Amino acid sequence: MPCVLALGRLNESTLRRDESCTEATLKVHVGYKALVLLALFQRYPKLSGAMYMDADAVIDAAWLRPQVYFELEPRADLIGTSNFNAPVLMNGGVLLLRNSPWTARFLSQWWQRRCAGKDQLALWHSIFAAWAEDIPWLRWPKGMWSKYKYALDAARRLALPYVASSHNAMRRALLLDNTEWKCNGTCNWLFERTGCLSQPLFLPHVLLLPVVPFRLPKGASHTISDGEVLSRLRARSSSLVPPLQHYSGHLYARFTGLAAEQLVCHVNERPSSCLHQQQGTQGLQHINLTKRDKRHLREMCDLCRTFARSIVDGRCSNRTHNKFYRCVCSNVLLPKFENVASGEGSFRHRWRCPDICLHLGSKL
């Protein structure tokens, strides 16, 4: 995978920024990623796309390829994930971008909207502004993007809940409902209540990926052109596609039977998680539990039960004021939910924790 080093000097016209930001923009390097990516695509117009990753991130599952995620939805020009902890619209530490006219406009706006010392606020602002160019009724409160210290409030109290409640209408407005990644049913119910995705979600030009492994739709394996990667996916016991980054379950992978793999391991998750990866179990009967294992397993099962009840009871979102999400995705995504018919066309959501909580619960 070729890497790029950008060197140069910026003139005064390039350094101009949008006046909507009322804070001083510090001279930090994180904001330059948008400008470098824009220059890269202009210098190499035949380049199909690029992956950006922060300096504190490393490739984890080297057998994976960024193309796997690009091929999930050919109409997605920007691909990213949320956080494994407090959910946000998109984390800027690892991004996939397709070389397209939309991406060029988006990167230009991201650079011009830089605000304060980090790039997350400008990233979210530019995504919303790009959507608003195509969807006239898309609106946001005045001043929402004006100061970085309000960035988490903007993403958690306003932007993310807005997307969770409006993503279907946004796709329908642009006739984009013929996608595999609608986040319907239980996925939508969970997303609206917690801000955490259990499956990919396609929005205009943007694909949001979950921070947990996800399954390809039936018959969709033909979308992956890399035969080696497809064989590896089919050979996995779970047949799940690993997350792009911020895998929320890597601490408990040994107990859930899932491989603790992701394309990129972002050290800001937990530094030790990138030093070694525990592989999924071959069967619950082969686990020899140490005292430390039992403590971690008890913690996982207790968290799973607690947050399953919190989600069902609506305690992961504050509905009294501007709705915001108060639960972290690493806990929210531990239980598995499914729709269960409860009569007269209504449904209730049944949850279950990883099988090991049931099978080994008496041994804890």
Q: Give pLDDT tens digits for 267-288.
A: 765 555 565 444 444 444 455 6
Residue 162: count other Cβ atoms within 10 Å of its Cβ: 19
Do residue 73 and residue 102 come from a single domain? yes
Are 145 and 284 part of one and the same domain?
no
**The domain containing residue 166 runs over which residues?**
4-10+26-216+224-237
Residues 6 or more apart whose CB falls under 8 angstroms from that of 203 comprise: 131, 163, 167, 170, 171
Average pLDDT rounded to a whole number, residues 130-145: 85
329 in any annotated domain = no
Closest CA to 194 of 182, 211, 181, 215: 211
232 and 268 share a domain? no
pLDDT at 236: 65
Task: Identify the residue with better confidence: 319 or 306.
Answer: 306
Q: Which of 209, 197, 26 is nearest to 122 (CA)?
A: 26
Give the closest residue to 33 by CA, choosing from 151, 120, 124.
Answer: 120
Strand-pair category, 214-215 with 240-241:
antiparallel
Instruction: Based on the fold, state whether residues 232 and 275 are members of the same structural domain.
Output: no
Question: Are 81 and 120 found together in one domain?
Answer: yes
Number of structural domains in the chain = 2
Task: For residue 97, count CB atoms less than 10 angstroms from its CB and return exposed for 0-12, middle for 13-18, buried for 19 or more.
Answer: buried
- 107 closest CA partner among 34, 172, 175: 34
First and final C-alpha spacing in the chain: 46
Whether 322 is in a domain gets the answer no
What does the pLDDT look like over 110-131, one tens digit per residue? Answer: 998 887 777 888 899 899 999 9
Stronger pLDDT, 306 or 359, i.e. the higher one: 306
Q: What local confidence, expressed as pLDDT, does residue 363 receive?
A: 52
Residue 44: what pLDDT?
A: 94
Report pLDDT for 359: 66
Give dist(CA 312, CA 220) in Å, integer.
31
266/194 same-domain check: no
Rounded mean pLDDT of the chain?
82
